[in-house]
Chain A
Amino acid sequence: MTGFDRDARRHFKNVAMMGLTVACIAVALIPLGSILYSVAVQGASVINGSFFTDVQPAPCSPSPLAACSQGGVANAIVGTLLLLALSCLIAIPLGILTGIYLAEYGRGPMVGGVRFLADVMTGFPSIIMGMFIYSSLLIVSPGRVFSLLAGGLALAVLMLPFVARTTEEALRLVPNSLREAALALGLPRFRVTGRVVLSSAREGVITGAILAMSRAGGETAPLIMTAFGNPFMATRLDQPVQAMSLLIYRFAASPYANWNALAWGTALILVIMMLGLSIAVRVLLRRRFRERRIGA
C-alpha cells in the first residue's frame, strides 16, 4: 500500500517537474512574442515613403499627431550602413589573418594564449570598446573625438575576435590531405593557405563575418562616445554620424510623440535587418553541416 503511494508520488513529481520545463519555454516565449508584436504593430504604423527619404524631424508633440511634420530616419539608416561597412573593411581582413595565424601558422603556447584572449574579448562589454576608442582619441586627437571613423573603429574592435575565432574554426575543418596535396605540387605555403585552404573554407569564413556583423549592427553603447549621433545627413569620415540604434536610444527616452513613433519604426527596420543576418547564418551553417555529413 505504501509502495503504491510512493510510486504515485514519484509519478506525480515526474509529471510536475517535466510540466515545469514546458512552462519555462512558455515564460521565455512571452517576452519574445511581446517584443516582436509591439515592434511590428507600432513600427509598421510609422513607416511610409518619407520614413526612408527624410532626415529626422524637429521634436513635436501636439494633441493631433498629424500636425507634426513626420520626417524620416534616412540619416540614421545611411549612418548605420556606413558604420557597418567601415567596421567590416577593418575587422574582416584583420580577423581572417588572425584566424589563419591561429589555425595554420601558430605554434606553441602563444597560440593558446591568443585564442584564449580572443575568446575572453568576445565576452567584454561592448561599451568598453567605445571607451577604448574614445580614450585613445582623447590622447591622439583631442580636438576631434566624435566621428564616423571613431564609430567604425569601435565596432571593428568589437567584431575582430568573432571573425578571428570563426575563421579559425572554419579552417580547422579543411582536411589536411588538401594542404599536403597542394604542398606536394610545390606551391609555397602562403599560396596553399590563400588559394586552397581559405577558398575551401570560404563558406565558414563568410558565416563568421555575418555573425560578427549581426553582433555589431545593433550595438548602441560603443557608439555613444564615438559616432556621437547627428541630426543631419553625414557621410564624411571625420564627421559625427547618426546610427539607427543611437536614434532609437535617444528618441525612445524623449517626451516627444513624433520621436517616440520614429523610434518604433526604426526598431522594426533594425530588427528585420538583424533577424535577416541571423537567419542567413543559420542557413549557411545548416548547409555546411549537411555537406559534411554527406562527405563523411
Chain B
Amino acid sequence: MGTGSAGVVVLVILGLIVLVLMVNSWRSMQTFGLGFLANPLWDPNTNQFGALAFIYGTLVTSALALLLGVPISIGIAIFLVELAPASVRTPLTYVVELLAAIPSVVYGLWGIFVLVPVMANYVDPALQGALGFLPIFQGFIYGYGLLTGGVILAIMIIPTVASLSRDALLAVPQSQREAALSLGATRWESTRMAVLSYARSGIFGAIILGLGRAFGETIAVTMVIGNANEIPLSLFGPAQTLSSLIATQILEGLQGSLQLSAIIELALVLLLVTLVINIFARIMVWRVFGERTEAMG
C-alpha cells in the first residue's frame, strides 16, 4: 500500500535534514573541527568563525525565560485547576492560549515599539539601581539586549508551559486532594503536598518543552536582542542567539563561502540541541500521559 511509504516520509525528511545540513557545513566542520563550539569569535573579515557567543546568548536568554516564565505558568495552572470556578476556568484557558496564537513577528514588533522603551526607561535603570553592584547589571543600557530577549521569550513560553502543567494537575486523582483536605490541610497545603508533588514529572516535562520552544524561537528574539556578535558581560548588553544569528546573517554569506558554511553548521548545532531536548521532554510527557498527548504542545 502507498500509505506504507507515506509513513516513511517523516523518517526520510528527518534524515534528509541532517544530511543536507551536514553536506553544506562540511567545509566549516573541516576547517574548525570541534573548536567551532568553543571559539567566541565571529569575524567574516578574517574568516574566523565560532559558535560560543551564540551558544551563550541562547543559554542565557532561555534561562531567563524559564526563570521568569515558569513560576508564572505554574501559578496560572494552579489557579485554573485548584482555585477557579468552572465558569471562569474555560474562558481564562482560552485567553491564556490566545498568547500562543499571536505570530512571533508580532511579538517582535510589539517588542521594538513597546517593550524595548519600557525596559530602557524603567526596568533596566531600576535593576541597575538596586543590583548595580553585580557585573551582570552594569554597563550601558540600550533597551535591546539579553534581558529584553529573555523577557519576550518568557511571555512566549507561558502558554506552552501553563497548558501542559494544567494537564499534569488535571491528571492528579481527586482522592489525593480529598485525602489532604480531610486531614485538615488548607487549600495551599493540599496543592503543595498532595497535588504538586504528584504532578512533578508532568510539570518537569512541560518545563523542558518550554525550554525547547525558547531555544528555537527566532524572530521575536532577533528583533529585540540587539544583534551584536559577541559575549556581553552584562544582561543589558546586545548579543545574538544561534537562531538570531542565522536569521540576520544567512543572506550575507556568499554561496560557497566559509561564512555560509559556518552559518549552516550553526543550524546543525541548533538542530541537534533541540533534538535532544525534545526527545527528553517527549519521553517525560509520554511517561505521564501515555501516547495520547496531542501534537498541539
| Chain A contacts to B: CB under 8 angstroms | 10-11, 13-14, 17-18, 20-25, 27-29, 31-32, 34-35, 38-39, 42, 94, 97-98, 100-102, 104-106, 110-111, 113-128, 131-132, 134-136, 138-139, 142, 145, 157, 160-162, 164-166, 169, 189-190, 193, 211, 214, 217-221, 224-225, 228, 245, 248-249, 252-253, 260, 263-264, 267, 270-271, 274-275, 277-278, 282
How near does chain B come to A214, taking the closest CB pair, in angstroms?
7
Query: Please, what's the 1-or-0 string for B47-89, where 1 marks a CB less than 8 Å from any CB in chain A?
Result: 0000000000000000000000001111110110011000000
> What separation, in Å, do the CA atoms of A134 and B295 have in the docked complex?
26
List the B side residues contacting A252 at CB < 8 Å: 105, 108-109, 112-113, 223
Report how far A294 CA is from B188 CA in the complex, Å.
36
Closest to A273 in B: B103
Find residues 77-117 in chain B having any chain A CB closer than 8 Å to their own CB. Answer: 78-79, 82-83, 92, 94-110, 112-114
CA distance A221 to B250 in the complex (A): 11
Inter-subunit contact A161/B295 (CB<8 Å): yes
Whether A24 contacts B105 by the Cβ 8 Å rule is: no
Which of A115, A118, A127 has the most CB atoms of chain B within a 10 A radius of its CB? A127
Once A105-B1, A115-B291 are accepted as A-B contacts, the answer to whether A124 and B109 lie under 8 Å apart by CB is: no
Determine whether the beta carbon of B267 is less than 8 Å from that of A123.
no
| Residues of chain A with a CB closer than 8 A to B188's CB | 13-14, 17-18
Given contacts A18-B83, A127-B246, A278-B101, 8 further A-B contacts (CB under 8 A): A24-B72, A29-B95, A32-B95, A116-B279, A138-B24, A218-B105, A220-B219, A270-B105
Is B155's CB under 8 angstroms from A31's CB? yes
The answer to whether A165 and B270 have CB atoms under 8 Å apart is no
Closest 10 CB pairs of A and B: A125-B216, A218-B103, A24-B75, A165-B295, A97-B6, A101-B7, A14-B186, A21-B79, A221-B218, A123-B278
Partner of A119, one of B2, B189, B295: B295
**What is the CA–CA distance of A28 and B70 in the complex, to the nearest angstrom?**
11
